[in-house]
Chain A
Amino acid sequence: MNWIKTKNNTKINLNEIPTLKISELREEIISLNKRPLAFFGKDWGSLGTKLFVILADDECGDLYVSSVLFGQNEKEYDSLTQVMPSFHIFEREFYEQFGIKPLNHPWLKPVRKNQKDYKFFEMEGEEVHQVAVGPIHAGVIEPGHFRFMCNGETVYHLEIMLGYQNRGVEKLMVEHPSNALAESICGDSVIAHNLAYSKVMEILKDINVSKRAQLIRTLALEMERAAIHIGDLGAIAGDIAYLMGASVFGATRTLVINTMLEFSGSRFGRGLINVGGVNFDIDNEKIERAIKTFEKVEKDVERMVKTMLKNTSVMSRLEKTGTVNIEKAREIGLVGMAARACGLNLDSRFDFADECFKSLALPRKIFKGTGDVNSRFQLRYQETMESLSISKRILTMLKNPSKDELLAPCTNKVSANSFAISITEGWRGEVVHIALTDANSDLTRYKIKDPSFNNWYGLALAVRNNGVSDFPLCNKSFNLSYCGNDL
């Protein structure tokens, strides 16, 4: 057997994971032809380095897990990227962390290391010029460096250099994991990352979370999605100088996050989710108020979006700007919202649904996008409305008082020799957390994959052949995370 087939939110025994030769695994990966979910190394002591691979079968909701042991002297292998480009960032990360070189990798650029002497791709020609932006940007955002190769106003190529935000999160997670640390992996996906972390720990500790706590968690996740999407609709409006939209969406987002403040004491839901359940209950008075607020938010968002879309000067900026077509999206392995906007049907809420989401039995809406800024704008609008409606539905369900325990007692007993996987669909896409324990039940490796890790290259492709002045617009329509990538 070359693979272990498993599901989301499960743990497997480390010793049961097959260990193949790299040449065998490479053949297997190519013949299975599935999407990479994780591809990461772990120091295997005197034996060398172990590489774990997880592939996702989105249609069946299956995960394929396998591994390779690289001996101390095995320092190279034939890269997968040449055959499957979606592996490019995973192989670069693996090389950076463990020094095992993927041969014939077309672009073995560091992912997070300080790259002072890095030589960017250069284009030659009389009219060609470079535009360098960052790491500190004009607005109040995280740092990253962008290098544009332009011919006049047109961008031919954009190279993105990240790593400025590297805080060593994966190592800290092994040393002293906590909910507060998980919440700070990426501060705009507080709920998504904290949920993925909590689930991984619950799997390892065999803790069952009550129905009510699960509902509150799902509610928080959908509220986060709605709040960020509304904020980004405003940011897109701001970037095309449609200030009315920026103001209205900004004020509307405040309503959603202030409701979150009422539920959890923090505008972004910090402190709400804990390993074992949730820290706060929601009483009927708050539920009534929240439902009313969400009804108002729905109206406000709908009114503003419709007004915007009727405006031809808005549409001329959004349509056919920053396009990534579906073939490219599949090839480079886009995930989450950015992939759905290109017409790829990926949503781990449905593909790898957890118990609570399944019980809601929601219909899956297929979005027919063309991959331009307009598609991402419309998709965000659709998802906002969807999330608000799910939130209202969950709030109605929470009205029935229940005797469910909100927070299951936490044990310190962690399963030994385990490999736990949890996937959560944050607003950006799949947030994957993987934890490994040894024979003493100690955490030995913690792997985090934020959707931004896959999607940054999508932004680089999106701006090709667009005006350099449209870059902020393209960037905001993706709104990728710097620290989610840099960890």
Chain B
Amino acid sequence: MFDTLKSRIYQGEQFIKDIKNAPMREQFRGLPKLCGSNCNNCTACLSVCPTGALKLNPLSIDMGKCTFCGACKNVCKTKAIDFSNFYKLGASTKEKLVVTEGTEGDEFLKTAIEVRKEIKRVFGKSLKLRQVSAGGCNGCEMELNACSNVNFDMGRFGIDFVASPRHADGLVITGPISKNMAYALEDCYKSTPDPKVVILCGACAISGGVFQDSCELNREFLDKYPVDLYIPGCPVHPLTFINAVLGLISG
């Protein structure tokens, strides 16, 4: 008993007080910082990019495909590509995830998440989510679990993961959606009561990521049903996830 109390006191306060302005280590690879005028079209970056997220003329990176591995930055001899530690990367459409020269964090944030008004009205104070891993490698899953730990404590905003789709207001999908999970995913979606939101979490869910060329995928679900939020990352950092979802429900 006393040992338990001692451990508790020793731990002190662990939670991040201001989650919207939490500091991030400078090494974190977040929003790409591109300088197209430095680019000499050597195409070295194209050949090392594992997902084809890069495009030249003009230079752009699709964060929906990017694994933030930094390989392009490492091979770029003219310093045209860099990554900032800006971590609020969520957006309400796929198109908004394409970063070009001059995309700055605060600018990006202003227009990144624009959603129907209904979402704020219905889910503004409480959003219960059902997570479905459809071929996810456990990277995003571990980070989503971390969202609920004592550091990030997502529950304080009324956002939680629940055990049943029947109790949920929306789905969080990770992984490239394998053929063998396609049926279960759709079943889960249909079991979630309306109105509901769909959140794609991580490069695999948004674009197939490193698995986009696999013949074992079945991504028809995404053609059939609307998606409300795209959260890039490989895996998605808990701060990225929480801030994106807060952006969604605060309209």
Q: Is the CB of A143 within 8 A of B134?
A: yes
Which residues on the A side are within 8 Å of B163 (C-beta)? 138-139
Q: Is the CB of A188 within 8 A of B28?
A: no
User: What number of B residues sit within 8 Å (CB to CB) of A?
Assistant: 63
Q: Which residue of A lies closest to B140 (CB)?
A: A187
Q: Is the CB of A303 within 8 A of B7?
A: yes
Among listed A14-22, A163-171, A344-352, A366-374, interface-contacting one = A163-171
Q: Is the CB of A142 within 8 A of B141?
A: yes
User: What number of A residues sit within 8 Å (CB to CB) of B?
Assistant: 63
Q: Is the CB of A180 within 8 A of B51?
A: yes
Which residues on the A side are within 8 Å of B142 (C-beta)? 187-188, 231, 268
Q: Is the CB of A261 within 8 A of B27?
A: yes
Tell me whether B234 is interfacial, beta carbon within 8 Å: yes
A319 to B3, CA, bound (A): 21
Tell me whether B10 is interfacial, beta carbon within 8 Å: yes
Q: Which residue of A lies closest to B131 (CB)?
A: A140
Q: Is the CB of A307 within 8 A of B161?
A: no
Which residues on the B side are within 8 Å of A244 (C-beta)? 4, 7-8
Interface residues of B in 1-31 (CB under 8 A from A): 3-4, 6-8, 10-11, 14, 25, 27-29
A183 to B69, CA, bound (A): 10
Which residues on the A side are within 8 Å of B164 (C-beta)? 138
A165 to B140, CA, bound (A): 14
Q: Is the CB of B138 within 8 A of A188?
A: yes
Tell me whether A271 is interfacial, beta carbon within 8 Å: yes
Q: Is the CB of A184 within 8 A of B137?
A: yes
Q: Is the CB of A248 within 8 A of B74?
A: no
Interface residues of A in 139-192 (CB under 8 A from B): 139-143, 163-169, 171-172, 175-176, 178-181, 183-188, 190
A304 to B14, CA, bound (A): 16
Interface residues of B in 69-84 (CB under 8 A from A): 69-71, 74, 83
Q: Is the CB of A180 within 8 A of B210?
A: yes
Which residues on the A side are within 8 Å of B215 (C-beta)? 168, 171
Tell me whether B178 is interfacial, beta carbon within 8 Å: yes
Which residues on the B side are within 8 Å of A306 (C-beta)? 3
A200 to B57, CA, bound (A): 36
Residues of A in contact with B (beta carbons under 8 Å apart): 112, 114, 135-136, 138-143, 163-169, 171-172, 175-176, 178-181, 183-188, 190, 231, 244, 247-248, 250-251, 254, 258, 261-268, 270-271, 274, 279, 300, 303-304, 306-307, 310-311, 481-483, 486
Given contacts A247-B14, A304-B7, 5 further A-B contacts (CB under 8 A): A164-B181, A167-B178, A167-B211, A188-B138, A251-B149
Residues of B in contact with A (beta carbons under 8 Å apart): 3-4, 6-8, 10-11, 14, 25, 27-29, 50-51, 67-71, 74, 83, 131-146, 149-151, 161, 163-164, 175-176, 178-181, 184, 188, 204, 209-211, 213-217, 234-235, 237
